[in-house]
Structures are given as C-alpha cells and as structure tokens.
Structure 1
C-alpha cells in the first residue's frame, strides 16, 4: 500500500519523493477560491479553500480510485481519495502561504478535507485556522503555492479571494507577481540551489498570487 501510494503521488505531483529538474514547469493545474473570515477584534478566524483541478488530472485520479469500475467515485472511494491527498499535502503545509509582516505563520492542520467530483473535475475543500491567534498586522498576506513547482494553483479572478469582516481601517489587494520582478526583488535571498532546482527550496512562493491586507500600525 505504501509503495503504491508513493508511486501514485509521485506521478500526480501531490507528494513527490524525487527531485524535479529546474526546467520543469507545472504539469497539474487548479483554479482556486479562498474565503478569509476575520473576527470583530481583527484576528483571523479561518481560511476556506476550494481547489478545482484540470480535466486530465481529474481523469487520472478517477481511474486510480474507481475500484469498482463504474466510472464514478462513491462515498468510500472519495473518502480514500481525501485521506490520500490529506496525508500527502500535509507535508507541504497544505500548500498554504500565510505571512504576518513577512514572517511565516504556522497553520493548524484542517479537521476535515473533502474530495469531490463536480462536472468531472476533482475538487478539494477544506478549512484551516492559525495554530496560534493571528491578528492582522501592518501587512498580512494569504496565498497558496506548491513548493515542488509541479502543481499550479491560482486564483483566476481577483474576486476568487474574498474577505469577510475586513476592519474598516484596513485595505486589501490581490498581488500577481511578475516572475522577472519577483526574482529581482528577492535576489539577495535566492541561493544557487533555487536557480539549479527551485523545487523544495520553499521559494517558489515568490511567484504565487496572494492577497495582502494592510492595516494601520498600532504603534
């Protein structure tokens, strides 16, 4: 079972165990939605994630997990898929990037992760919360990215990132980095390892679309 799981994840890029060459570009694509809920006191209550994967990847997943061969996934098969995905992406912090004033925020593992198929496309749905209380700061950012640089998860429209409870004094904006500008701006922190093989360096997040919330300094 473990060997089969490793092969499946390596193939589908949700739990790669081998290094990927630097020239590899994303092979799996997903359209994402992010719903951020802010409490009245300015702390982050939760993040709601929905990822809809491309047709080819979805078809591959369907074939792999359709144990009874009826060309659909029943509740038991979906539960097995969700468990497999959960175990895989947990190693990558569920592809989440949350920062407060440019410092990484640790997120607690979601209590539930749901896998579903709608219109023949795989959907992954889960909620997460900060491991410790997170109060909006001067700049708080939220996004998703795959550190293996194999899966491209992106918000197609700015409206796909939604905030509920944004304090009146704070402003939000969706940032879509230009790759060349992102490299130039981070030149001082990028090592040779990044340019030789960006996978696993955790720096591919500089290319990821993110939502930035800026609030007035309390000091």
Structure 2
C-alpha cells in the first residue's frame, strides 16, 4: 500500500511515484501486524477470509495528518469513512493483498463488501472480509497468502496463531510457512533484475518473503 491522499489518483500513477531506484531501496516502507481467520462451513467449503491489519505508528500518524480535516488530532466517523474508501480503492487492483491457491491453481476472491478503518491508540486498523468467487472446497492443498506483491508494504503475522482456520475438517492439517529471507534471495537472484528495481509494481516480489497458511487434506484433491 502506498501513502495516499484524499485526492484520488490512478493506482498505476501512485505506484510509479514510489518506484524503487536501486537494490538498496528494495525493502518495505510501511509495516502492518496482521491476523487472518479462514472461516470454513460444516460442509468443508471456505466461507470467507477475515482480515485485520494494524499499521505502524509512523504510517498511522501520516494518515492522521492527511485525513484529519477538522484538525482535532483524531479521526471521526466521516474521516474514517474517507480512509476506508481510499484504502479500498488503492489496493483493489492487487486483490486486496490476498493470494489463494488450490492445488497450485489461483482462486479468485470477491471484493470485500465492506472495508472498515479504525484509529486506536495511535495506530490505523483495517478490517475486512472477503469470499471466494466460486465454491472453494478444502481438498488436496490450499494455501492462503496476504502480502503486497510490490513489497512496499510488509504484512507481518507475528505469531503462527495469527493465521487461523475455523472448523478444520478431519483429515486436514494446518501449517504456517515462513520462508528464510537469505534462502529466498539466493533462490530468486536471477529475477532481481534492473527491470524489477525500475518497476517493482510489475513483479511479484512480495511472494518471495510472504508467510502463508497451508492446508493439506490427505486423500482428497
């Protein structure tokens, strides 16, 4: 997610303004601690993904200064609604930082019906819930990732318990996969070209380091 303003700008232009110029700058600039709850129906279908992101103090302060229209050093309901709309519009083309795959095939997700913003104890909090576009059965291997593909925003699941699944069916196992950064860089060195650093938005750099929730159901798929 890029820093944003109440003046709407095209997402591509917004990204271009923050393109990374050199390998030394290829690191996140915004940080959020996250929680993901995967909700499963009694029939074993994924009903929805519930997201909570709590942003770092510096970015949260920037949002406060930008959206505090009446300069009272807090965000009222109308100002929070404007934050929600801006975030919703800004990350829509990135599928709201959600990447779901079923047996290595991409799973389309519906846009969230409602994205809520809150400002609590000096931190911006974003909450939303989304559903698979088509029925998604837990069969074989299904993995869930939440990350910014341009690596500008780091979505961090501090504890494995922050990636949870409700009503895990019998015969299915849950694992949280955390790539080793050094190994990830070594394995993807050939893709870290000058073209990436000139246009990080055109890559999936965030996937290299993303923590993922992996569900494996034996004898299915």
Query: When the two structures are superposed, what TM-score results if normalisation uses the length of structure 2?
Result: 0.87
Q: Name the residue aligned to 2:168.
A: 166
Tell me if the contact between 1:143 and 1:208 (Cα under 8 Å) persists in the aligned partners. Answer: yes
Correspondent of 2:57 among 55, 58, 81 = 55
Q: Name the residue aligned to 2:16.
A: 17
Correspondent of 2:8 among 5, 12, 15 = 5
Q: In the aligned structure 1, how far is the partner of 2:147 from the partner of 2:39?
A: 20
Query: When the two structures are superposed, what TM-score results if normalisation uses the length of structure 1?
Result: 0.88
Number of residue equivalences? 213
Q: In the aligned structure 2, how far is the partner of 1:213 from the partner of 1:53?
A: 27
Counterparts of 1:46-85 in structure 2 under 5 Å? 46-85=48-87
Q: Name the residue aligned to 1:214.
A: 216
Counterparts of 1:1-219 in structure 2 under 5 Å? 4-6=7-9, 15-18=14-17, 19-21=19-21, 22-24=23-25, 25-183=27-185, 190=191, 192=193, 193-194=195-196, 198-218=200-220
> Aligned with 2:20: secondary structure?
coil
**C-alpha displacement of 1:118:** 1.1
**Structure 1, unaligned runs of 5 or more:** none
**C-alpha displacement of 1:173:** 0.7
**C-alpha displacement of 1:186:** 5.8
State the superposition RMSD in angstroms: 2.5
Range 105-114 or range 196-205, more displaced: 196-205
> Aligned with 2:8: secondary structure?
helix
Q: In the aligned structure 2, how far is the partner of 1:54 from the partner of 1:107?
A: 27
Q: In the aligned structure 1, how far is the partner of 2:65 from the partner of 2:88?
A: 19
**C-alpha displacement of 1:169:** 0.5
**C-alpha displacement of 1:23:** 3.2
**C-alpha displacement of 1:165:** 0.7
**Structure 2, unaligned runs of 5 or more:** none
Distance 1:107 1:69, change over 3 A: same
4+ aligned runs moved over 6 Å, structure 1: none
Distance 1:76 1:196, change over 3 A: closer
Tell me if the contact between 2:151 and 2:205 (Cα under 8 Å) persists in the aligned partners. Answer: no
**C-alpha displacement of 1:179:** 2.4
